């Protein structure tokens, strides 16, 4: 039988009904939280409540959006696709973001800012959360992104060349005849040696 792992930590409990703060211990055994209070008092807490205390201050979705620098709409979307899923407050089902959740949102914001797709962001976030990650795994994703950027730069360079030729071939006067319009109207695709596709992710 696998040995039961125990972890003793200190928690600060604010018991609203008694209007005072007290320090107690809790023990985590196989995923269950056992709160050890005095023999004269027992205070029941569900695991989600304890997790929230362990993670730090709680915030609603508007506060989390402000702290992370992301729109509320983005936070809802990240929750929907399982990137960052905040706890839900008991009784009202409101989103309850922890400081750890906000750290993850900021991480995603920075990853998106340098051009990583949502799929790669998910991989990076998983690696960020994994203390046993290997640096080689992270570097591999970055090198793949560099290769993608290099390809995009080549396509942009080809695009610039095509646009330059179009501009140079146009008189730019008041005439109704325009070589740019004529070029774009051609059925041939030889002038476009690439296909730029707008990314949806």
DSSP secondary structure letter of residue 17: G
**pLDDT tens-digit map of 100-135:** 999 999 999 999 999 999 999 999 999 999 999 999
With tokens 């998910």, the residue in question is: 122
Query: By mean pLDDT, which of 77-81, 136-140, 180-184 is the weakest?
Result: 180-184
3-class SS at 172? coil
State residue 122's pLDDT score. 97
3-class SS at 87? strand
Averaged pLDDT of the chain: 76
Q: For residue 63, how far is the Cα from the chain centroid?
A: 16
Residues 6+ apart with CB under 8 A from 18: none
**pLDDT tens-digit map of 6-20:** 333 333 333 333 333
Alpha helices in 10-80 (DSSP H): 47-55, 61-68, 72-80
Q: Is the pTM of this model over 0.85?
A: no
């Amino acid at each position: 039988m696998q040995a039961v792992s125990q972890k003793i930590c200190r928690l600060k409990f604010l018991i609203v009904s008694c209007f005072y703060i007290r320090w107690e211990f809790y023990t985590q055994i196989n995923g269950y939280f056992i709160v050890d209070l005095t023999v004269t008092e027992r205070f029941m807490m569900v695991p989600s409540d304890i997790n929230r205390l362990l993670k730090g201050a709680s915030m609603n979705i508007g506060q989390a959006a402000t702290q992370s620098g992301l729109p509320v709409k983005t936070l809802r979307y990240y929750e929907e696709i399982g990137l960052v899923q905040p706890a839900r407050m008991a009784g009202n089902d409101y989103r309850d973001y922890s400081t750890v959740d906000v750290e993850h949102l900021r991480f995603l914001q920075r990853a998106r800012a340098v051009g990583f797709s949502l799929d790669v962001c998910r991989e990076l976030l998983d690696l960020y959360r994994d203390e046993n990650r290997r640096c080689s795994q992270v570097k591999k994703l970055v090198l793949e992104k560099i290769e993608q950027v290099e390809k995009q730069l080549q396509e942009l360079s080809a695009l610039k060349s095509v646009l330059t030729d179009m501009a140079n071939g146009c008189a730019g006067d008041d005439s109704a005849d325009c070589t740019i319009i004529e070029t774009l109207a051609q059925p041939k695709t030889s002038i476009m040696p690439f296909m730029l596709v707008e990314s949806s992710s």
